[in-house]
Structure 1
Amino acid sequence: MGHSGGLAFLWRRDIQCKFMSASVHHMDFTVQEESRVWRVTGFYGWPAVSDRHLSWELLRLLNTKSSLPWLCIGDFNEILYSTEMKGGSRPQWQMNNFHAAVDECGLRDVSWEGYQFTFDNGQSGDANWQCVLDRAMGTNSWFELFLYAKLFHLVREWSDHAPIRLVLDRAEETSVHRRAFRFEQIWVGEEGCEEAVIRGVEKGNGNLGGVLRECARELQAWKKISIGKIRWTIMKKRKQLARLDEGARIEGEVRQRRKLVAEIAELVRQEEQYWRQRSRALWLRDGDRNTKFFHTRAGERRSKNFIGCLVDETGVRRIGDEVIGRVATNYFRELFATSRPSDFDDVLQGLEGRVLDRMNLILQADY
């Protein structure tokens, strides 16, 4: 791909992926997650019209390599229908060749959401044209595995292509929900964080539930002003950009769009610079590259779910899976066993009930 970029394939640790083949124009993998096994191909079609037939030959070849449910996603550098182009024109024979290859492979489009056209040549007026070059297509057997799959056309910024995001299951869809408050460790030491916590404690009047609620409110307000200001501004400008992408491509709007893209790029640079400086400050405070701090941070993920030993109630260090299991069992048995304490009113006063009376009757009923 020269200096323009390339294809990359990344996956989570809990998903098993097996490499099948790759070239300058594709990457092919099998994917196993939970009980589903399928195949995904990242595809990049030849950009030159004279070489476009090579794209369809590659697509047909890939179709013969496996009978697994198949998803093919990427930039095909061609459209299937004349309605997938706004401005300009496309010879019918080019679309027919793409159609023939897609039909032969048994592929069909994943439904999409967002602005229709994923490519814009960046020109204004009559010289502007937009089309759908980026898409995701699957076989019937793949759609049987992912009934609610949807492709999102995201907002295009400095590239002439819009990024696309494939959501496989309905539960993963981006929706507007109020996010639960989470305290982030990186806030510690930031100017104003401690003061926000103090204000929350004072407003809580010594009530545990009230203190927690007020601290969360104060920290959210502080975060929005102190840390989230740049992020909020970026989001606001990206919404403006999305509206411009869907408007008429007159000269004034093209200039406005270029100005917005430059402003977003500068804000992103500022945000990255802030976090680089913040990371550097943490590094200088907590240790350098040769200290235990570095190795501890690097090994956190690997050791997250591993327990090498436990100390029992007598203070003795215990090792071995069976012995560690007994120590853990005894600890939690003692932890949750009642010693019949009293006077819970002061502790529970500020906590809101979640179990209604009718729910409690059901819980206490005979099995």
Structure 2
Amino acid sequence: MLMGDFNAVLFNHERSRGRGTSVLRGDNAFRNCINQCQLVDLGFNGAPFTWRRGNLFERLDRALASYDWRVLFPEALISYFNPLKSDHCPILLRLRPDQPMRHSRRPFRFEAAWLTHEDFPNIIQNGWNAKDNWIQRIGHTKKILMDWNKSSFGNVFYAKQRLLRRLNGIARELFLGPNHFFGETLVQAMV
């Protein structure tokens, strides 16, 4: 299985606006290579184009596999995401998309943002001053910090995921072509 930026398209509908003969020659060589190696494109979920420069949109990023690999992983799914700080979309390969991703319990981590909050010294002092041995104090302080974090800062991971989903939706619409709803200023800001 091969996955990444191939700098060529397989089909004409994978390019929107702009054509050059050197580009088409590269596309033909790419098609020939895929045919000779007997590879299949795994398809995708997400925006139809993975790269953009100006008004030119192309699907340059993809996953290709042999027939034997595809038989081993028939449910494999490719997803494209918002390119945030790149001119290419990130790619995610899930071998078994029907199985939910396991989210193991996250270990306790000290967050640097806590230091900026005016209540932090009091939270530490209240958590540590329990009349227990030091192992119990650590557990007690950890619980107090986690509860305080949730009430003071909220679930930043959920908020981040929600924003990323919204950005992916916007990027998907922008990759489909000009969108008068978003306006040209937003389109230029994303580039």
Query: 1:168-183 counterparts in 2 under 5 A?
Result: 168-170=95-97, 182=106
Q: Please, which moves more after superposition, 249-258 or 109-118? A: 249-258
Give the drift of 1:157: 2.2
User: Matched residues in 2 for 1:103 and 1:257: separation?
Assistant: 37
Pick one of 236, 257, 262 that aligns with 2:163: 236
Residue of structure 1 equivalent to 2:5: 75
Does residue 73 of structure 2 align to residue 146 of structure 1? yes
2:61 to 122, 126, 134: 134
Q: Is the 8 A contact 2:173 2:179 kept in 1?
A: no
Give the match for residue 41 of structure 2.
109
Letter aligned with residue 4 of structure 2: G
Given that 2:82 and 2:171 are in contact with CA atoms closer than 8 Å, whether structure 1 keeps it comes out as no
The residue matched to 2:110 in structure 1 has which SS?
helix
Q: Deviations over 1:201-255 (max 9, x none)?
A: xxxxxxxxxxxxx966654233327xx39x9368527724641452333697443
Would you say how many aligned residue pairs link Structure 1 and Structure 2?
A: 166
Q: Judging changes above 3 Å, is the alpha-carbon distance between structure 1 residues 260 and 73 closer, same or farther for their aligned structure 2 residues?
A: closer
Q: 1:173 to 1:184 in 2, by over 3 A?
A: same
Q: Is the CA contact 2:46–2:172 (under 8 Å) kept in the aligned structure 1?
A: no
Equivalent pair of 1:237/1:260 in contact (CA under 8 Å): no
- Contact 2:81-2:168 within 8 A present in 1 as well: no
Opposite residue 110 of structure 1, the aligned amino acid is L
Q: Distance in 1 between matches of 2:93 and 2:60?
A: 15
Is the contact made by 1:82 and 1:90 (CA closer than 8 Å) also made in structure 2?
no
- The aligned counterpart of 2:185 is 255
**Structure 1 contact 244–253 (Cα < 8 Å) conserved:** no
SS of the equivalent of 2:64 reads strand
Map of 1:323-338 to 2, 5 A cutoff?
none
* Residues 185, 244 of structure 1: alpha-carbon distance in 2 compared, 3 angstrom cutoff: closer
Compute the RMSD of aligned alpha carbons: 4.0
Q: How does 1:285-304 map to 2 (within 5 A)?
A: none
Unpaired runs of 5+ residues, structure 2, are: 127-142
Residues 131 and 169 of structure 1: is their aligned pair in 2 closer, same or farther, counting only changes over 3 Å?
A: same
Q: 1:253 to 1:161 in 2, by over 3 A?
A: farther
Mapped to 2, the partners of 1:241 and 1:170 lie a distance apart of 19
Contact 1:107 1:137 in 2 (8 A): yes
TM-score by length of 1: 0.37
Relative contact order: is structure 1 or structure 2 higher (C-alpha 8 Å, sep ≥ 6)? Answer: 2
Q: 1:168 to 1:104 in 2, by over 3 A?
A: same
Q: Deviations over 1:169-204 (max 9, x none)?
A: 336766xx9x676462314974446749x7xxxxxx
Deviation by residue 1:77-126 (Cα, 9 ceiling, x = unmatched) = 111111111222366665443222211101001131111101101x2xxx
Contact 2:44 2:80 in 1 (8 A): yes
- Report percent identity of matched pairs: 21
**C-alpha separation in 1, matches of 2:190 and 2:8:** 29
Quick one: distance in 2 between partners of 1:93 and 1:160?
A: 23
Hey, what's the Cα distance between the residues in 2 that align with 1:74 and 1:187? 34
Letter in 2 for 1:159: S
Is structure 2 residue 144 aligned with structure 1 residue 221? no
The code of the aligned residue for 2:31 comes to H
- What are the ranges of 5 or more consecutive residues in structure 1 without an aligned counterpart? 1-70, 199-213, 262-367
Q: Residue 78 and residue 242 in structure 1: after superposition, are their counterparts in 2 closer, same or farther (change >3 A)?
A: same
Please point out which of 50, 74, 77 is paired with 1:118: 50
Aligned to 2:129: none
Instruction: Give the partner amino acid of 1:185.
Output: R
Q: Which amino acid aligns with 1:103?
A: N
Partner of 1:279: none
Alignment correspondent of 1:186: 110
Counterpart amino acid of residue 76 in structure 2: A
